[in-house]
Amino acid sequence: MTAAAFPDDLVTELHERLAEWFAHAARDLPWRRDDATAWHVMISELMLQQTPVARVLPVYEQWVRRWPEPADLAAEPAGEAVRAWGRLGYPRRALRLHGAAQAIVERHDGVVPRDLDALLALPGVGAYTAAAVASFAYGGRHAVLDTNVRRVLARVVGGEQHPPASVTAAERRRAEQLLPEDGAPVWAASTMELGAIVCTAASPRCPACPVADLCRWRAQGYPEHDGPARRTQKWEGTDRQCRGRLLAVLRDATGPVDKALLDAAWPDDVQRERALDGLVADGLVEPVTDTLFALPR
């Protein structure tokens, strides 16, 4: 269902209702406060990808205290970013932030750029992150499509339980058509918040939704998803868990670690070696000698 098929008066109603709801229902998050800088917004956006707010908050607070400006992080070894990332998961995001900080210093005099193309040119910054920073930090008018926004738009406007597995051209067109002329950052933030705390993936709280009566998925009787089965992420026994165990040993060490300590962290020899090779290939671990390993220096 395209946005064009959603009547203009209902689109305006969506904008107004969600803005009003967000004004009193939004969580008080540090990256939304007036003193949050564009760099703080960028840190939060990278951390929040595939990670719940509750887990992000303490690590975010530590990062902005330690590295309040891109130049502060850029001056540190990449391994310190990996160490400070802790147990947030998907630690390559720490390397992306470190690489972005270095590029911001080298290309933009240490100031996070506001131009979308300049943001996209930063290492590790994709379409979502660039749009989010440009919108939330600088008030730009961009389609911000995270998992929560996509789900809200799929249900309210498209009448579908879940969006496709990855962003499609049709989704992006619909999101751009729905952007208000004024207040686009509030629209992005409010749809994101609605998906996070009301229109959740597994247990939507429709009685608490400010636009329930406008929702096409609800009006159609909540039809179930008829696309490919949605994959659930496993953790126990996976390569991801193994990689996390190895990184935990390296994070807790003050210097290079003997391979015997890494061997003791995971019982499956083949899986452990595969995970260690992957960490080295991803730049998250650096071989010092044949038997010593460290975080990137």
Going by the DSSP 8-state scheme, the letter that residue 293 receives in this structure is E
Spot the catalytic one: 13, 16, 45, 80: 45
- Please name the residue ranges forming H helices in the chain: 8-25, 38-48, 53-66, 70-74, 78-85, 92-108, 116-120, 127-136, 147-156, 169-178, 184-197, 216-219, 239-252, 259-263, 269-281
Contacts of 26 (CB under 8 A, 6+ apart): 32, 189, 190, 193
- Annotated catalytic residue 45: yes
* Environment class of 206 (CB within 10 Å of its CB; exposed 0-12, middle 13-18, buried 19+): middle
Stated as kind and residue range, the H or E segment containing 286 is strand 286-287
**What are the CA-CA distances from residue 25 to residues 28, 68, 107, 161, 194 (Å)?**
9, 28, 39, 24, 9
Q: Which of 52, 77, 36 is nearest to 185 (CA)?
A: 36
Cβ atoms < 10 Å from Cβ of 228: 8
Of 33, 97, 26, the closest CA to residue 59 belongs to 97
Q: How far apart are CA 293 and CA 95, in angstroms?
A: 17
In angstroms, the CA 146 to CA 156 distance is 16
CA neighbours within 13 Å on the CB side: how many for 71? 7
Taking the alpha carbons of 245, 78, 96, 270 in that order, is the dihedral positive or negative?
A: negative
Residues taking part in catalysis: 45
